[in-house]
Amino acid sequence: MIKGVMFDFSGTLLRVESTQEWLAAALAETGIPSGEEEFGETARRLTEYGALPGGPSPQHMPAHLETPWDQRDISAERHRAAYCGLIHAAGVTDPELVRALYDRHMTPAAWRPYPDTEPTLRALRRRGLPVAVVSNIGWDLRPVFRAHGLDALVDAYVLSFELGVQKPDPVIFKAACDRLGLAPADVLMVGDSREADGGARALGCPVHFVDHLPVDRRPGALAPLLDLLGLA
């Protein structure tokens, strides 16, 4: 019987803005001018190199960034180094713009909850099922949840950069189950990555996957959880 739920963050509960919105916000902050053609080419390169955390995966990985990329969520320093390296590899070399781009993705304005995120979390809260957010991440996402009115619906945050361990290592899922005070077999893991979030299976957790899609293309992937859990 499911007694609690663990959720991934990016692509599961919330989605980061588009690369174009991300770039436009950073340019506006820095006051750096960019023509339409230059803007489009820069956005294309940033997408190609997967430079937006939470955005599309890199299509190209420079050899010197392979190790930082693999370990990016273990610490805040490694996360910043990996993504600033990808921004630079994409051709953005102005230090002020590199900083603005990296910092922008950590702001609440860069994230949007999926339409059914709050209703699903509220339904779980009403029925007494505790919730943990388990994320591979290099920064503190709690302010994002507070800004979007979701923090009161989360009982525990287990973040890779704070633990020094990233999914799919079972250690991170065990930490979440312990904080919820539940046995792994009683905690459902919900995420968008078969590889990372699927690691919960090693502990005996049931797992449910959703698709990592733009917010306007995924209106109701979480709501069926209530049926799955017999809570609808």
Instruction: Give the model's pLDDT for residue 232.
Output: 65
Instruction: Give the model's pLDDT for residue 40.
Output: 97
Q: What is the pLDDT of residues 18-73, one digit of tens each?
A: 999 999 999 999 999 999 999 999 999 999 999 999 999 999 899 999 999 999 99
Give the residue-averaged pLDDT of 71-84: 98
Collapsing DSSP to helix, strand or coil, 17 comes out as coil
Q: What is the CA radius of gyration of the chain?
A: 18
Candidates 192, 158, 195; CA nearest to 178 is 158
Instruction: Give the end-to-end CA distance of the chain in Å, rounded to a whole number.
Output: 15
Fold of 4-15+111-228: Rossmann fold (3.40.50)
User: Are 172 and 134 in contact, with CB atoms under 8 Å apart?
Assistant: yes
Whether the predicted pLDDT of 92 surpasses 80? yes
Instruction: Give the model's pLDDT for residue 203.
Output: 97
Residue-wise burial string across 75-109, b where 16 or more C-beta atoms lie within 10 A, e elsewhere: beebbbbbbbbbbbbbebeeeebbbbbbebbbeee
pLDDT, greater one: 228 or 192: 192
Whether the predicted pLDDT of 107 surpasses 80? yes
Quick one: angle between helices 95-104 and 19-30, nearest 10? 130
Chain position carrying tokens 């990592």: 212
Residues 6+ apart with CB under 8 A from 186: 1, 2, 3, 4
- Domain extents in the chain: 4-15+111-228, 16-109
